[in-house]
Homo-oligomer: A and B are copies of this chain.
Amino acid sequence: MGGFKELTPVQKAVELLRAHVVHRPGKRRVSIEEALGKYLAEDVVSPFNIPPVERAVVDGYAVRSSDTFGASPTSPAILRVKGFLRAGEEPRFSVLPGEAVEVATGAQLPPGADAVVMYERTRRVGELLEVMEAVPPYGNVGRVGEDVREGEVVLRRGTRLMPWDIAVLASMGLSAVEVYELRAAVLNVGSELVELGQLDPSEAARRGLVINSNRYSISALLSLYGFSPRYLGIVPDDEREIAKAISRALQEHDAVITVGGASVGRADLTVKAVRELGAELVIHGVLLRPGRANSAAVVNGKPVFMLAGFPVAAIVGFEALAKPVLLSMVGGEEEPKAVVKGILTRRVTTPINVRSYVRVRVYEEGGRLYVEPLALTGSGVLSTLVRGNGILLVPEDREGYDEGDEVEVILLRQPSKSP
C-alpha cells in the first residue's frame, strides 16, 4: 500500500468535496406516504391556523366564563344546559348568558362560549347545572392557531421526513410534498467479479472469481438513507471502459459510486479514469482504516466516490466519505447515533493521524458492558460484519486504546447478553 503520495484526512476530504459539489439533485413531488424517509426540497408553510377553530380540550360544559366568576361549592353559578355537542358535530347551539352546552373533548366551542368547565367541577340536576368554580376566559379551550399559525414554516428544507412529520403534513391538508430525489449510480469495477446467481460461489472461487456482493451493500446503504440507487453493472479492469462507464453514469445521475479497482495493487484504474474525464478535484486515498484506498472526485460539479473493493472498506468509505457529502447535497444531516460506553477487552492499536473504524462485539456481563475488538486487520472479513454489533471509532489523534479502557462505541444492534 506504499503507492499513495498524499492521503487526505477524512474531514478535510469531506469539506473539499462539499465545496466542489455544486450540482443539486432533482426534486420530485410525491404523496406524503411515499415521502417517508426522504428529504424535503422545500420549506413547508402551514396554509391554515391549527386548530382553525376553538375546541374543548376536556369533557365538560361550554360556558361564558363571566357567568362563572365568583362561583364556589357553597355558592355555585347556576346555568341552563341547552344540549350536547360531540367532536365532529357542527355547533347547532349558541351560548347566551346563563346558558351552557355539554361538550365532549374535541368538540368545537359553540358561539358565545369562551371556556369549558370540567365535569368534576359541576353538578347536574336535569337541565340545570351547578358550576362550583370559576373558569377563566379560554380555560380548557384549544385556541385558533395555538398549535401552528397560518404562514408559519413548519418543516424546513432538508428535513428527513419521519412518521410524525407525515402526520403533521396531513393535518395541514397537504397530500403531497416536494422531496429531493438523489439518483446515485452504482458501478462495480473488477474483471474478477460475477453476479450473484451466475455461478455457484465455490465454483466461482475455484475459478478465481468473486461474487459481486458490494453492489448490494452500497445500494442498500443508499436506500436506507433515503437516496435512490441505480445499479449499472460490472465494468472490467480497463481504464477506457471505466472512464466511459463513469461518464455515461454522470449524465443521468446526481452522484456516481464505483466500488473496486481503487487500490494501488489494482493499478488505480478508476482514479486514472476519472482524471481523464477532467475532474475538478481528485482525492486519492484518505487517512481511513480500513479504506485508505477510498478515493473521490468531482466531475461537472457532481461527486464520484471510488470505494475500495474490500467489503468492509467499501462500507466504511461510504459512511465516512460518501454519506456526509450526499447528505449535504439534500440539505440533510446525520441521524443521531446510539453510543454506549464499555470496557475494552483487548488492546487496540491503530496508526496515528488515521481515523480507524474497529468492528467490535459489545456484550453484557455482570451488569457491565464489555467491548471485544473483532478484527484489527483484514478488511475483507464478511463474518465480522454479522458477528459485530458495534463500531469503535478511533480518532486521528489517538493510536488506539488499552485493554481495560472505557471506550465509546457506536451500537448497530443491541449488546449480546453473554460474552
Contact = CB atoms under 8 A, between A and B. Distances in A.
B217 A163 contact: yes
Contacts of A49: 202
Interface stretch (A66-74, A248-256, A411-419): A411-419
Contacts of A218: 163
A221 B90 contact: no
Interface residues of A, number: 101
Interface in A141-187: 142, 146-148, 154-155, 162-173, 175
Contacts of A155: 386
17 contacts: A33-B216, A47-B201, A53-B205, A59-B264, A105-B265, A106-B309, A147-B381, A154-B386, A163-B216, A167-B213, A168-B382, A171-B213, A171-B311, A335-B338, A335-B414, A336-B412, A338-B338
Contact of A216 (B142, B166, B212): B166
A340 B214 CA distance: 33
Given A86-B191, A167-B315, A173-B200, 17 more contacts: A50-B383, A59-B264, A87-B210, A89-B208, A90-B208, A107-B208, A147-B380, A147-B382, A162-B224, A163-B221, A163-B315, A166-B220, A167-B385, A170-B215, A171-B311, A173-B196, A339-B339
Contacts of A214: 167
A7 interface: no
A411 B339 CA distance: 11
Contact of A201 (B32, B173, B197, B413): B173
Interface string A362-387: 00000000000000001011110110
B333 A104 contact: no
Interface string A210-251: 111111111111011000000000000100000000000000
A25 interface: no
A217 B164 contact: yes
Stoichiometry, as copies per complex, reads 2
A208 B87 contact: yes
Interface of A: 2, 32-33, 36-37, 47-53, 57, 59, 85-91, 104-108, 120, 142, 146-148, 154-155, 162-173, 175, 190-193, 196-197, 200-202, 205-221, 223-224, 237, 263-266, 309, 311, 315, 333-340, 378, 380-383, 385-386, 411-414
Contact of A211 (B2, B171, B211, B265): B171
A166 to B, nearest CB: 5
A265 B338 contact: no
B201 A382 contact: no
A216 B167 contact: yes
Contacts of A85: 208
Contacts of A165: 385-386
B190 A142 contact: no
A164 B315 contact: yes
A386 B50 CA distance: 14
A197 to B, nearest CB: 5
Contact of A196 (B175, B196, B335, B378): B175
A108 B208 CA distance: 6
A193 B120 CA distance: 28
A193 B382 contact: no
Contacts of A190: 87-88
A196 B167 CA distance: 11
A88 B173 contact: no
Pick from A147, A165, A386 the residue with the most CB of B within 10 Å.
A386
Contact of A88 (B57, B162, B210, B386): B210
B382 A171 contact: yes
